A and B are shown apart, each in its own frame.
Chain A
């Protein structure tokens, strides 16, 4: 069944923000622990877009969570395939998802810590339930927006093979997608291709693979600091990335 998407009005976002910043801390924590969403009906704007929204899975163990995230990412991105990056960079839509449509999922998947530290609670809720900031990094922190953006940034001509790579090694997200060069689609494609080619060295669980990913990201960053990396063809990028991978493997065998 298709659902009309919604967005939270400026007034609603403002009220949530001041509730979080100035409201009674106990009331804030209680509101984000159970019960109905704290969004008021008049704060919801019904959009023209509609979609068959999937049920999002959540498990208790971290290993299962990774698998759930992968499935959720693919399903949500497929169901919201018509959403453009411009529309998906609206804060209101994602706050509607986290506080209205996927409220129960959010309470389970992103439980607000039981803490008396106001700063900790504020940071947690504004990062995972709201959108703190205006760049992709802020959207990748939001509990639902992250799924769409991971899907968008890893999907390749309808294939989600790269999504698994991205979610298996979350360092890739922070090392590539949150940096400027990861915004270029060709650079992302070649990066994922190379990760897949060298999956044993870069995607295995364990600290060594993570260190290698970080080293490679540093090298790509340095490589692009004095060259216009966007001007490289796919073929040239493949060759340059392979050289950098070999350097990393020499240093981090």
Chain B
């Protein structure tokens, strides 16, 4: 689950300003289960914006979970339960797994149930002065950060969770990357002779370390930058999961220097290597022909 992707709707002033929606609104304690053919999402929506809590408790606003899958052209919204005075509500929904594939995006919205006149959001961007807004029914009042469900990407052919794969490139003296491969991995395309060297020296720890620094580090830095591109690459999901698990703050404004530092830190961590990156390292040790 990745909570670092920012929101869709800025600069829609009703939501507040770029850094705050006038309080906290997010999906906490999430549990996502895949059982037989159903994917269920349960958790708690928590809001600290008093104006919004009041509107929700009085029935003038309500929260929805919103799921969208680019691969299967699926999009739907699910209503949450009644809000408590403490600003919490339970959310649960289930979706047939045959409707989703790859990265499905999940976000939460608080919306007006009816037209609201003279709505004044907390933390309104100073640019708008003391503006008040007349809102239409179903107008969006708050947006949570999004996260992604990773639905098994290739049902027909199994693919492990490795992000990178070394492969034979077509250029004689050049290493390049392929981000849109059919296997959903990031291809580090090396000249055929280099691929043989990697294979022959794969048991040399020093060489392995050099390989990581020379080949994987720049590719990972570039991949971190591409996380915010509109392209729906399959490798984004496991990479986002790592970033989320590590609690790394990253957004679309990140520059290449920053992604390079993040990549360096990620590659240093043993616990990362122990799961997804271990598979990646196995790919290095056993490159494709």
Contact surface of A with B, Cβ cutoff 8 Å: 7, 9-10, 13-14, 17-18, 21-22, 45, 47, 84-93, 133-136, 149, 152-153, 177, 180-185, 225-232, 236
- The 10 A-B pairs of least Cβ separation, nearest first, read A84-B98, A183-B75, A230-B77, A85-B72, A136-B73, A13-B182, A135-B70, A89-B71, A86-B101, A227-B138
For B109, the chain A residues whose CB sits under 8 A away are 228, 231
| Sample (11) of A-B pairs whose CB atoms are under 8 Å apart | A45-B156, A45-B157, A86-B72, A86-B151, A87-B156, A90-B155, A134-B71, A183-B75, A227-B140, A228-B138, A231-B111
A180 with B182: in contact, given A228-B109, A232-B138 (CB under 8 Å)?
A: no
| Closest chain B CB from A14 CB (angstroms) | 6
Instruction: Provide the bound-state CA to CA distance between A85 and B12, in Å.
Output: 33
Given the known A-B contacts A84-B98, A93-B156, A136-B73, are A230 and B183 also in contact in the complex, defined by CB atoms under 8 Å? no
CB-contact partner of B76 in A93, A153, A182, A184, under 8 A: A184
* Chain A residues, Cβ within 8 Å of B76: 184-185, 230
> How far in angstroms is the closest Cβ of chain A from B100?
6
Contacts of B180 in A (CB 8 A): 133-134
- Whether B136 is near chain A, meaning CB under 8 Å from some CB there, is yes
Q: Would A85 and B101 count as touching, CB distance under 8 A? A: yes
Chain B contacts for A136, CB-based, 8 A: 70-73
Q: Would you call the interface of chain B mostly helix, strand, loop, or mixed? A: loop
Residues of B with C-beta under 8 A to A227: 111, 136-140
Q: Which of B68, B100, B139, B234 lies in contact with A86, CB distance below 8 A?
A: B100
* B145 lies within 8 A of chain A by Cβ: no
Residues of B within 8 A of A153 (CB): 73
Smallest beta-carbon distance B226→chain A, Å: 13
Point out the residues of chain B lying under 8 angstroms from A21, CB to CB: 170
Please, which residue of chain B has its CB at the minimum distance from the CB of A88? B72
Chain B residue with the shortest CB-CB distance to A183: B75
Chain B contacts to A: CB under 8 angstroms: 9, 12, 14, 64, 66, 68-77, 79, 97-102, 109, 111, 136-140, 151, 154-157, 170, 180-183, 231-234
Query: Which residues of chain B are within 8 angstroms of A89 by Cβ–Cβ distance?
Result: 71-72, 101-102
Q: Which residues of A contact B101 (CB under 8 A)?
A: 85-86, 89
CA distance A236 to B102 in the complex (A): 32
Apart from the given pairs A14-B183, A229-B138, 19 other A-B contacts in the complex at a CB distance below 8 Å: A17-B182, A22-B170, A85-B73, A85-B74, A86-B71, A86-B151, A89-B72, A92-B157, A133-B231, A134-B233, A135-B232, A149-B73, A181-B75, A226-B9, A226-B14, A230-B64, A231-B111, A232-B138, A236-B137
CB pair B98 A85 closer than 8 Å: yes
Tell me, in angstroms, the Cα distance from A13 to B231 when the chains sit together.
Answer: 19
Q: CB < 8 Å: which of A90, A133, A236 contacts B156?
A: A90
- Provided the pairs A90-B156, A135-B232 are in contact, do residues A14 and B97 lie with their beta carbons within 8 angstroms? no
A-chain residues with CB within 8 Å of residue B137 when the two chains form the complex: 227, 236
A86 → B minimal CB distance (Å)? 4
Q: Which residue of A lies closest to B15 (CB)?
A: A226
**In the complex, chain A residues whose CB is within 8 Å of the CB of B9:** 225-226
Whether A226 contacts B233 by the Cβ 8 Å rule is: no
Q: With A86-B151, A135-B232 as given contacts, are A226 and B139 in contact (CB-CB < 8 Å)? A: yes
Q: Which residues of B contact A13 (CB under 8 A)?
A: 182
* Bound-state Cα–Cα, A125 to B233, Å: 21
Complex contacts, B77 vs chain A, CB 8 Å: 228, 230-231
Residue of A nearest to B14 (CB): A226
CB contacts (< 8 Å) of A177 on chain B: these are 73
Known: A45-B157, A84-B98. A135 touches B68 (CB 8 A): no
